[in-house]
Structure 1
Amino acid sequence: MARRPDLVGLTVLAMLSVRAGHPYELHRFIVDTHKDYVTGLPRSLYHAVERLAGEELIVPVETSREGRRPERTVYEITDEGRRELATRLRVLLENPGAERRTFTAAVSLLGVLPVPDALQSLRTRAAALEGALTGMNAQLKALKDSGLPDILVIEIDYERALTETELAWVRGLVARLESGELEWSSAAEAKPLAQVLGET
């Protein structure tokens, strides 16, 4: 059985690739931007930070305490962490899987990739979706030609409809990136996460 992708770790790497931050800031950003694919907060986030630090994909750069608040450690991503982030994200973008939540996560973090890499990954996914559609269409035709009633293969038709919709969306996203319509910078890149979140 294939290991499920670490969406919490991926999200931490993506956020730290924009700007260094401490886990509380990361937690607030995940909640405030509705990255609902991240589950088990806050424990899953703190475990991911510990795991990534243990793998030296992120490193602590500063520890501070304000008043009676708990001590906060600020982390930044390493060069190895950036490479790992790009690799993990490209894999999730390029390979249509059974779990659509995974693709939602990958799309939500797409902006951390350079535009050419994002385009290549999305084109690869589009080609895979086209192949899947060809296979489903052939399977449906063979089943119908065998005399099987449509009602017995309705789930294949449903999957085909979802795949067609996803393919159209991916092609539209590629077109928006190619034309420059989709802006590739964000407010998070312009200022620290704490300011983005309005933390005092």
Structure 2
Amino acid sequence: MPARRKVGNLLALAVLSALAQRPMHPYEIASNLRAWGKDQDMEIKWGSFYTVVRNMERHGLIEAVESVREGRRPERTVYRITDAGWAELVDWARELVSTPAAERPQFRAGLSVLAVLHPDEAAVLLHQRLELLEDEIRSGRETLAEHLRTVPRLFLVESEYYLTIRDAEAAWIRSLLAELISGSYPGLDEWRAYHEAGRPPAGSTDPQQRSGSTQ
């Protein structure tokens, strides 16, 4: 069961990972997180950044070590990770790597109401998504290959995972499209007939019809 975190926002995990490198002030932390692409690896709400930093300090995960001033800029507090913060970072990493969590991608939400679209339109839209996915995968693989020339693979493993997931999604869409185009998709004639009759397919809006779906 996932642990109850003192600061459960994933932004706190990102901050801890940054301060594990060296002490930094908040502006430097945010700049580095953006430069490292951490906002692509996890949902980061920048508007809550300073609130998260304050909460982390209050719970002893980070601590102030000094204040610095650069030119006419306001004084900035430099923070470092504490022993408690390091323990939290390691424990959190263990949990995230070992324990599957329920995730709700927007694509799944769209698929849950796919029946409200005519199957011909659904096929066109899925093909459009597939083309965009293939472009994204191609670009991502080129970028990954370029980074691997200078960055150890260990620090790019999250990009490998993301591209693998995108590959799997693209493969599934190709399979679904093949069934729709060939006419072999189960219930396709009924799906088409409902739309041509001007009414939604049975069960498309009734959650009782979907009570046996997987989580």
Q: TM-score range by the shorter chain?
A: 0.3 to 0.5
TM-score (norm 1): 0.47
Larger Rg: 2
Q: Point out which structure has higher relative CO (alpha carbons under 8 A, 6+ apart).
A: 1
Structure 2 length as normaliser, TM-score?
0.44
